[in-house]
Amino acid sequence: MSRRAKIRRKTKETEIDLSLNVDGRGGYRVKTPIPFLNHMMELFSRHGLFDLEIKAKGDVDVDDHHLVEDVGLALGEAFKKALGDKNGIRRYGSATLPMDETLTTVAIDFSGRPSFVYRTPLKGGRIKSFDVELVEHFFEAFTNSAAVNLHVNVLYGRIKHHIVESIFKAFAKSGDQATSIDPRVKGVPAIV
């Protein structure tokens, strides 16, 4: 069974070509005009063992918002398409991940129902030129497009870069766990 997807998303503001192999080895080729987004997508690929290619451009001369949000939408759509009927997946995944002074827990459920909770000490600011408020928008877009329950809880942290990096790494680890095939599972684990 091949769990792969290719997504092409073209809007007035952005143009994205994204390919995903859920059963990859963590290989990536990511090219957007937002260096910090590239870094986070590379970490996501490597730590989730997802093969990921993204080629994206957009109206970043105005703001990074559209491109960050649309990459989140495209990634969510790719997971939804690649997982198909979700037969045999574990469905649930969670990871608690330390990153120096930061500790983050991310839990995900490929339920088919979007619900997003985001609790973090990040109240704004920038990492170089990247607006940290866009992290929440990325994950909200992913949640709606993939139709998952996603809970991001930063228990504590001080350095913005460490907080965001821990979120993306925990997201990768929990996503890998939830999308893994378990030979004992028949169909999709449902609430009974």
Tens digit of each residue's pLDDT (9 = 90 or more) over 32-64? 999 999 999 999 999 999 999 999 999 999 999
Confidence of residue 187 (pLDDT cuts 50, 70, 90): confident
Interval 65-87 mean pLDDT: 97
Determine the pLDDT at residue 189. Answer: 73
Q: What is the pTM of this model?
A: 0.96
Q: What percent of the chain has pLDDT over 70?
A: 98
Determine the pLDDT at residue 185. Answer: 85
Is the pLDDT reported for residue 138 higher than 80?
Answer: yes
Determine the pLDDT at residue 192. Answer: 39
Determine the pLDDT at residue 141. Answer: 98
Tokens, residue 103: 């500790």
